[in-house]
């Protein structure tokens, strides 16, 4: 038996809720999908006529929104009403690291998840399947369950619930493709009918052998573990990049050599400025907290090292830049190419660019920052310093300004630092740039996407990540 699902409500219209529900609505025209969020500003952007104003930039997303919005996909702040009508509620809210109190700095702050559980307990009617889509610490379902059970008991049983864990594995920048062609869909739960009801939705477009069923705790832990393994690969290759620079080896060659071993595999071996994004750091710290909580300090310190290496690596790059620029960047102009934590997204959360820019500004550098998708106000928030828009030409030490155009951003600068692998940065006209920069000019390519030969030919000094011979 499966439950008849007609109305879906997703609480949280963020980077996961928005794209995930858009794909479900597109693939399942028989379902009515309602995405709700307390943030009215965000909802307004999801409903914006101008698709360039959607709050999340993802290739392919705008087309689906255009097709499904106001047919079987709606965005609103009508939390109460949409929960009431829903047969299935996805919880897709933020779960950041706790800032204070017990577990501060490591444990996930579950206050938004708990608030959702309480909203569902209060407003739902009849039978509701509650799906954890947010990334959560192991055994969070227990918390949700106890809140919902109280509602079941106190309402003379007119409300009943099932709880499932269905973590999301999409990566930003490729979210739509990841959702349409997932490596797997994971469903953890206790009751087969509930699991089958959710599996029936995914099986509209995902092959059955890719829909994995586990117990609820394995599902929660598998999500944290997947992110920890991915982040660990990046810290591993970044640690080797430092060794390559010290020894004359080349991290790209090392990565190719080890990646050809199919037990290791070639993916996620690009050395860069350090991993960013809202999840890797937070999820590993959560794993560290859980390990400590369960009395496993060795396990905790093993995983904590992945985050520590990442932090060290980002500062290593800032220090190296200062060193190469004759030991001081005070009053020097530097172009920053890319502020998003990776290409094809407007997300800057935990971006390596934040750390590196802050380090350089603290050293007194003047930054001309470029990014094709990140807006200046976001950079202001991340750096905690206002964009000096009016006075672009006569900026003072420790100030920055935003530039749309790469070539405007390189006028009179001593160095160009590539921090995000945007396609347009692969095609820069270095001949043109060499004429407008101040000499001796430097390019620091933390993403290995520029052409070393071409840049050197123009008389520009060149450094790139993990290249012992650059």
Radius of gyration of the chain (CA): 24
C-beta of residue 40 within 8 angstroms of C-beta of residue 122: no
How many chain residues are in contact with ligand UGA, going by CB under 6 A?
20
Burial of 149 (0-12, 13-18, 19+ CB in 10 A): middle
For the segment 264-323, give every residue that binds ligand NAD (CB under 6 A).
278-279
Answer yes or no whether residue 272 interacts with ligand UGA by CB under 6 A: yes
Burial of 177 (0-12, 13-18, 19+ CB in 10 A): middle
Answer yes or no whether residue 188 interacts with ligand UGA by CB under 6 A: no
Q: Give the DSSP per-residue string, 60-109.
A: THHHHHHHHBTTTEEEES-HHHHHHH-SEEEE----PBP-SSTTTTTSB-
Which is nearest to 86 in space by CA: 134, 126, 144, 39?
Answer: 126
38 binds, among ligand NAD, ligand UGA, none (CB under 5 to 8 A by kind): ligand NAD
| Cβ within 8 Å of residue 24, ≥6 positions away | 8, 31, 33, 201
Among 342, 373, 403, 464, binds ligand UGA (CB under 6 A): 342
Residue 316: CB atoms within 10 Å: 17
For the segment 415-444, give every residue that binds ligand UGA (CB under 6 A).
none
Among 275, 289, 303, 339, binds ligand UGA (CB under 6 A): 275
92 binds, among ligand NAD, ligand UGA, none (CB under 5 to 8 A by kind): ligand NAD
User: Which x/- pattern, by CB under 6 A, does the window 53-92 give for ligand NAD?
Assistant: --------------------------x------------x
| Residue range at the interface with ligand NAD (CB under 6 A); choices 6-14, 156-164, 194-202, 407-415 | 6-14
Distance in angstroms (rounded) separating the CA atoms of residues 417 and 410? 10
Nearer to ligand UGA, 270 or 467 (CB): 270
| Cβ within 8 Å of residue 209, ≥6 positions away | none
Residue 230 parent element (H or E)? helix 216-247
Query: Any catalytic annotation for residue 158?
Result: no
Long-range contacts of 142-151 (CB under 8 A, 24+ apart): 143/110, 143/113, 143/114, 143/117, 144/91, 144/113, 144/117, 147/114, 147/117, 147/118, 147/121, 148/117, 148/120, 148/121, 150/121, 151/121, 151/122, 151/124
Among 162, 172, 359, 399, binds ligand NAD (CB under 6 A): 172
User: Which x/- pattern, by CB under 6 A, does the window 292-321 give for ligand UGA?
Assistant: ------------------------------
275 binds, among ligand NAD, ligand UGA, none (CB under 5 to 8 A by kind): ligand UGA
Distance in angstroms (rounded) separating the CA atoms of residues 269 and 234? 6
378 binds, among ligand NAD, ligand UGA, none (CB under 5 to 8 A by kind): none
Answer yes or no whether residue 279 interacts with ligand UGA by CB under 6 A: yes
Answer yes or no whether residue 382 interacts with ligand NAD by CB under 6 A: no
Nearer to ligand NAD, 17 or 103 (CB): 17
Strands 185-189 and 159-165, how do they pair?
A: antiparallel
- Residues pairing with 112 in the sheet: none
The CB-nearest residue to ligand NAD is 14
| Residue range at the interface with ligand UGA (CB under 6 A); choices 151-159, 164-172, 294-302, 391-399 | 164-172
The nearest distance, CB 208 to ligand NAD, in angstroms, is: 23
268 binds, among ligand UGA, ligand NAD, none (CB under 5 to 8 A by kind): ligand UGA
Footprint of ligand UGA (CB under 6 A): 135, 168-172, 227, 230, 234, 268-270, 272, 275-277, 279-280, 341-342
State the catalytic residues. 279
Footprint of ligand NAD (CB under 6 A): 11-17, 36-39, 42, 79, 92-95, 112, 115-116, 134-135, 168, 170, 172, 278-279
């Amino acid at each position: 038996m499966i439950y008849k699902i007609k109305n879906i409500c997703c609480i949280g219209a963020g980077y996961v809720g928005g794209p995930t529900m858009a794909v479900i609505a597109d693939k399942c025209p028989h379902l009515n999908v309602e995405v709700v969020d307390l943030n009215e500003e965000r909802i307004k952007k999801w409903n914006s006529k101008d698709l360039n104003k959607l709050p999340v930039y993802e290739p392919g997303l705008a087309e689906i929104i255009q097709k499904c919005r106001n047919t079987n996909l709606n965005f609103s702040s009508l939390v109460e009403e949409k929960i009431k009508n829903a047969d299935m509620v996805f919880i897709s809210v933020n779960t950041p690291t706790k800032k204070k109190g017990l577990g501060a700095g490591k444990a996930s702050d579950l206050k938004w998840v708990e608030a959702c559980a309480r909203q569902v307990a209060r407003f739902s009617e009849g039978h509701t399947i509650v799906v954890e889509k947010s990334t959560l610490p192991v055994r969070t379902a227990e918390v949700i369950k106890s809140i919902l059970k109280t509602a079941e008991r106190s309402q003379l049983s007119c409300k009943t619930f099932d709880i499932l864990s269905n973590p999301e594995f999409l990566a930003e920048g490729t979210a739509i493709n990841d959702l349409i062609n997932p490596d797997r869909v994971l469903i953890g739960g206790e009751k087969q009918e509930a699991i089958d009801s959710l599996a029936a939705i995914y099986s509209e477009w995902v092959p059955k052998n890719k829909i994995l069923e586990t117990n609820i705790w394995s599902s929660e832990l598998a999500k944290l573990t997947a992110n920890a393994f991915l982040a660990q690969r990046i810290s591993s290759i970044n640690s080797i990049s430092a060794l390559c620079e010290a020894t004359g080896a080349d991290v790209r060659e090392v990565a190719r050599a080890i990646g050809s071993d199919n037990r290791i595999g070639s993916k996620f071996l690009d050395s860069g400025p350090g991993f960013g994004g809202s999840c890797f750091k937070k999820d590993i710290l959560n794993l560290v907290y859980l390990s400590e909580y369960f009395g496993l300090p060795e396990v905790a310190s093993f995983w904590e090292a992945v985050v520590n290496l990442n932090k060290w690596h980002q500062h290593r790059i800032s220090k190296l830049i200062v060193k190469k620029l004759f030991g001081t960047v005070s009053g020097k102009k530097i172009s920053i190419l890319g502020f998003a934590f990776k290409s094809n997204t407007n997300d800057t959360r935990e971006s390596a660019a934040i750390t590196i820019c802050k380090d350089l500004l603290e050293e007194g550098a003047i930054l001309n920052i470029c990014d094709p998708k990140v807006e200046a106000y976001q950079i202001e928030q991340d750096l905690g310093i206002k964009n000096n828009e009016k006075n672009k030409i006569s900026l003072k030490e420790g100030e920055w300004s935003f530039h749309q155009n790469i070539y405007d951003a390189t006028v009179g600068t001593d160095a160009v630092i590539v921090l995000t692998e945007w396609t347009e940065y692969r095609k820069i006209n270095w001949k043109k740039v060499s004429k407008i920069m101040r000499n001796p000019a430097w390019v620091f390519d933390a993403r290995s996407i520029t052409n070393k030969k071409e840049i050197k030919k123009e008389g520009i000094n060149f450094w790139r990540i993990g290249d012992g011979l650059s």
